[in-house]
Amino acid sequence: MTQDPQISSHPLLMDGLPVVVWPHGHVAAPTSPCQEWQLLIGVLVEIRRHGLLLGIGVVDNATALGDIAWIAADGINGRTMIEKAGGYELSIAPPHFRPRPAGHGD
């Protein structure tokens, strides 16, 4: 049985990105951050800031130098720009973060 993460806001983060809180006993181990964000365009990634997992998203675009990336809009969340200088890190999302096909795993 797979449990889905719960989305909640975190009082220490003021940028409006969601924080993923896994049910007791399910912890997502951090993956290695990718330094070349320009190589992640179209890839589902974990978004971290100062080591804290904020959520997941698809990299919509990135600068040629890979220091700024845009996370694609998802549901009611608009397209979001993040910068390495702001403490953000991106890493390829592990398989348990991949979306399930509709009608599966209910």
Q: What pTM, to 2 d.p., does this model score? A: 0.64
User: How confident is residue 94, by pLDDT bands cut at 50, 70 and 90?
Assistant: confident
pLDDT recorded at residue 99: 61
d(CA 13, CA 18): 9
| pLDDT tens, residue by residue, 72-85 | 988 888 899 999 99
CB atoms within 10 A of CB 41: 13
Residues 6+ apart with CB under 8 A from 4: none
Residue range 48-75: average pLDDT? Answer: 92
Domains of the chain and CATH, by start: 16-95 (2.30.30)
